[in-house]
Copies of this chain bind each other. A is one copy, B any other.
Amino acid sequence: MKQSAHSTLEATTPGRSRPSPNLLVAHLSHFVSLSKDDISFLETLCEKQERVQKAVNLAEEGDAPSRGFAICRGLACRYRDMPDGRRQILTFLMPGDFFGLHAFLMKSIDYSIIAMTPTRLARIEQAQLIEIVEHHPRIVTALWCHTMQEAALLRERVVRLGRGNAHIRVAYLFCEFLWRYRAVGLGEDDTLWMPLTQAEIADTLGLTPVHVNRVLQDFRRDGVITLAQRRLTLHRVDRLQELAQLNQDYLHLTGIPRAGERLLERLAPSQ
């Protein structure tokens, strides 16, 4: 029942006809359907984007959390440096992702954030956070869902690192990228932008660059992927997905259940 639910990857966008061109809207709309007002608020957010070069640190371990951001373009990651010089990449921040909105509850953050490519982000000031909480309850709900999704992604990571071999881990990472890109309307077919170097993949999956390289060779030899010039094509997505042991909707994109909606309406009436 559970383990066998490995069906084909689908870009599921329940309650939405087609993904919005604005990636924040596209992402959050998976969780809750937003009002016109919500949408235009998010679009306004994206008007003044900040450009950040590759390899620039957006935050450092130990910092007091500062303002929040939303990623409009590019790729960033949370990571942790180890005493011996190695590092572990924790999570990726992709277009449509938010971060730092809950961080004001912590005195310091336990990870650093770095831009892995040239990146554009929309800063979210306190004033705007307040505006969201006071006037955009559906965005608040969607951001909750976003937080739960992040936690779910971390759990998947733990499972792969704890019980998966190198091939499973790499397959998982590629599927994660494909699914998350599709969730915001990027990566139509099975080809996607994969800006990570093999060393960065290794840092993500707890492997060495050398071994990542060998796994990739295997996948290429088997005709499962093509990867060159930062473009990754997944032929045989089904095979990869099965290898990665991913089940449908692991991103929890199918919206909140009926009971949850009723409860929410009770807690925070939307109109």
A interface list, Cβ under 8 A from B? 1-3, 5, 31, 60-62, 64-65, 78, 80-83, 86-88, 90, 102, 104-108, 110-111, 126, 129-130, 133-134, 141, 144-145, 147-148, 150-152, 154-159, 161-163, 204-206, 245, 247, 249-250, 252, 254-257, 259-260, 263, 266-267
Contacts and interface: CB of A to CB of B under 8 A. Distances in A.
B263 A126 contact: yes
B107 A257 contact: yes
Contact of A133 (B5, B31, B267): B267
Contact of A263 (B104, B156, B260): B104
A78 B148 CA distance: 15
17 contacts: A5-B62, A86-B163, A90-B155, A90-B159, A104-B256, A104-B257, A105-B141, A105-B256, A107-B254, A107-B255, A107-B256, A107-B257, A110-B250, A110-B252, A130-B267, A147-B147, A161-B162
Nearest to A149: B106
Given A1-B62, A110-B250, A158 B159 contact: no
A103 to B, nearest CB: 8
A64, A65, A106 — which one has the most chain B CB atoms within 10 A of its CB? A106
Given A102-B144, A148-B106, A254-B107, A88 B159 contact: yes
A107 B251 CA distance: 11
Nearest to A110: B152
Instruction: Count identical subunits in the complex.
Output: 2
Nearest to A207: B162
Given A130-B267, A252-B106, A256-B104, A154 B144 contact: no
A259 B104 contact: yes
A31 B106 CA distance: 9
A252 to B, nearest CB: 5
A151 B148 contact: no
A89 to B, nearest CB: 8
Task: List 9 A-B pairs, minimum CB-CB distance, nearest first.
Answer: A162-B206, A161-B161, A104-B260, A154-B154, A88-B162, A2-B62, A88-B159, A88-B163, A105-B256
